Amino acid sequence: MAIRMAIHSSMMRVPGKPPRTIRRIIEERLAILQTLIEKKQRGEPIVAADLDAGKSAMDGLRDAVARVDADEKVLLSKCTATLNRYTSILPAFFIVTAFIAVVITGLSYRNIVRDYREKERLRPQL
């Protein structure tokens, strides 16, 4: 249970600046689009600076998504390394536990046989 909690807590990503940054950039981009729609409805010309503002917002969004993607890849590699470590240990753990089970079974069998022989030895004396 403790191992599961340690793995789970190490895999959990704390929400932070990148998702908030992405949300902010999307909201900014939508505001720019709304401004462009309003200008178009009023019949005002849309100038290159208006389009450049939208382009810079989208470039910022691409950068933020790329950072989040890189962070997720790092997290994935850490989780994969943890998984590989546990999967490499597991066969040895099974072998050791099987050996311990065989030893316990052998000791129990020996004790039962010894007790049975002792009872058989004492039976004629009754």
* Extents of the domains making up the chain: 2-90
90 burial class (0-12, 13-18, 19+ CB within 10 angstroms)?
exposed
46 with 25: CB under 8 angstroms?
no
Report H helices in the chain.
2-11, 17-42, 48-122
pLDDT tens, per residue, the chain with 126 residues: 455 555 555 555 554 566 788 888 889 989 999 999 999 899 988 888 888 988 998 999 999 899 889 999 999 999 999 999 999 999 999 999 999 999 999 999 999 999 999 999 988 887
* pTM of the shown model: 0.58
pLDDT at 20: 82
- Beta carbons of 36 and 46 less than 8 angstroms apart: yes
